[in-house]
Amino acid sequence: MRVKVISRSTDEFTRERSQDLQRVFRNFDPNLRPQEKAVEYVRALNAAKLEKIFARPFVGAMDGHIDAVSCMAKNPNHLKGVFSGSMDGDVRLWDLATRRTVRQFPGHQGAVRGLTVSTDGGILVTCGTDCTLRLWKVPGDTLMESDDGSGNSSQPLAVYVWKNAFWGVDHQWDGDLFATAGAQVDIWNHNRSQPVNSFEWGNDTVTSVRFNPGEPNLLATSASDRSINIYDLRMSTPARKVIMRTKTNSIAWNPMEPMNFTAANDDGKCYSYDVRKLNEAKCVHKDHVSSVMDIDYSPTGREFVTGSYDRTVRIFQYNGGHSREIYHTKRMQRVFCVKFSCDASYIISGSDDTNLRLWKAKASEQLGVVLPRERKKHEYLEAVKNRYKHLAEVKRIVRHRHLPKPIYKATKQIREMTESERRRAERRKAHSAPGSIQNEPLRTSRIIKEIE
């Protein structure tokens, strides 16, 4: 005789804590739950509304500079340490956990235009318009150690005086070299007072430089002649160059896909390129209404943050045409630099009003310890929202953002101008000979030419 025995795991009916409700066993057969979709739709709607209610992205401001914050740098060895430089020559190390200054690095007589930290996190490189390049020792494992009067932190390890002003600096992701941008691209070593190599392509000022995270010898620069240049340290001449219709202010490589980079442009848009095919942009990211001043990728490579002259900070998906989030405050002025934290949880922005601001990367994310059951509920609500995000009501709530009045008016004006140009192009094409006028997509229309 065969006997069927019901067996249950102890975990299925044991409460995690004494205050919990007794677990209820449910049969998930869809035939027994005809209202399942309706119930999930309501849950998705409520989850979208709750996300708006709990959206509190601003964490705090870090006040200390007395002039506009011009540049920032992350320390790859310390999660909570970030460096900032201002237009009056002040360089500071901040502790993000306490939001206060840990160390100051005085010495520059002009605006600090570039900051970068070595691969091992031990040396800080600063440069500016006073034509000097300074190397500093970064504080040790504990960021909170104070000055002991020995002068280890207040005095630079080395000072290199050069004949031209510097506009940017970046260190190799894996190596001992760093590059400076100015009248030309100079490659430096920590132990030499003269560049080990120099590159130039034309006589225009190079405004930004970024090393590739995957290939240490590859770097990209942007110049005042509206060009984006690709250099290879193993070659004696520059590799490739693309000239756009407007100037590129900053460049950021995707750390997870090192063949792709995104350029922040003066026309208020960002252009993502594949370095192997520079004659066409992979994606155009548009929402800003003024020049995009700085850009930085998340360590995950799925998102990037931009800071703009229109006094806002936006977060884009790496393949999204429009921003998923916009951050702004009444006091924040033109944003000159932005950075993702090394754990992709926070965003730091530096602006013209002398403040650094700390934001959450996800506006409604809960700070602090999240219990396993809370995390499961958040994941479930996120999955429900994604399932019903195409429906009108859910889409309207998720997409809604409060915009400052100047941004709203400028966005409306840009939309009207774009629509007018589209109608004009359609009429011109309709009254021309067939095939005489070709529609040029935005991904290629902003590129003038490519030079190899």
Confidence band of 6 (pLDDT split at 50, 70, 90): confident
Confidence band of 44 (pLDDT split at 50, 70, 90): very high
Average pLDDT of the residues of the chain: 90
SS3 category, 442: helix
Q: What's the angle, vertex CA 316, arms to CA 318 and CA 208, rounded to 5?
A: 80
What residues does 103 pair with on adjacent strands?
93
Q: Which residues contact 436 (CB under 8 A, 6 or more apart)?
A: none
* CA pseudo-torsion sign 148, 154, 155, 156: positive
Place of tokens 């756009």: 244
Whole-number Cα distances in Å, 444 to 241, 280, 283, 291, 368: 15, 5, 10, 19, 45
Which domains occur in the chain, in start order?
36-55+367-400 (no CATH), 58-366 (2.130.10.10)
Q: What share of the chain in percent tops pLDDT 70?
A: 97
Question: Of 8-17, 210-219, 270-279, which gets the smallest average pLDDT?
Answer: 8-17
- Distance CA(167)–CA(415), nearest Å, equals 34
The HSE-up count of residue 178 (CA atoms within 13 Å, CB side) is 24
Q: Round to the nearest angstrom and report the end-to-end CA distance of the chain.
A: 83
- Distance CA(180)–CA(209), nearest Å, equals 7
DSSP string, 321-380: SSEEEEE--SS---EEEEEE-TTSSEEEEEETTSEEEEEESSTTPPPS---HHHHHHHHH
Residue 385 has pLDDT above 90, yes or no: yes
Mean pLDDT of 250-254: 96
Q: What is the pLDDT of residue 143?
A: 53
Mean pLDDT of 368-389: 92
Tell me the pLDDT tens digit for each residue of 152-162.
457 889 999 98
Q: What share of the chain in percent tops pLDDT 90?
A: 70
> How many other C-beta atoms can be found within 10 angstroms of the C-beta atom of residue 376?
11
> How many other C-beta atoms can be found within 10 angstroms of the C-beta atom of residue 138?
21
- Distance CA(400)–CA(380), nearest Å, equals 22
N residues, the chain? 452
pLDDT higher for 23 or 191? 191
Confidence band of 7 (pLDDT split at 50, 70, 90): confident
Tell me the pLDDT tens digit for each residue of 253-284.
999 999 999 999 999 999 999 999 999 999 99
Residue 295 tokens read as 């850009």
Strands 168-171 and 177-181: antiparallel
- Distance CA(153)–CA(134), nearest Å, equals 12
Contact assessment for residue 179 and residue 209, using Cβ atoms and an 8 Å cutoff: yes
Mean pLDDT of 169-186: 92
Amino acid at 197: N
Q: What is the pLDDT of residue 239?
A: 85
Q: Name the H helices within 153-303.
A: none
- Distance CA(417)–CA(419), nearest Å, equals 5
Tell me the pLDDT tens digit for each residue of 105-157.
998 998 999 999 999 888 999 999 999 999 999 987 555 554 443 334 578 89
Contact assessment for residue 144 and residue 153, using Cβ atoms and an 8 Å cutoff: no
Query: How much is the pTM?
Result: 0.88
DSSP string, 86-125: ETTS-EEEEETTTTEEEEE----SS-EEEEEE-TTS-EEE
pLDDT higher for 54 or 33? 54
Structure-derived torsion over alpha carbons of residues 221, 350, 115, 270, reported in degrees to the nearest 10: -10
Residue 32 has pLDDT above 90, yes or no: no
- Distance CA(367)–CA(384), nearest Å, equals 22
Tell me the pLDDT tens digit for each residue of 65-95.
999 999 999 998 888 899 999 999 999 999 9
Residue 236 has pLDDT above 90, yes or no: no
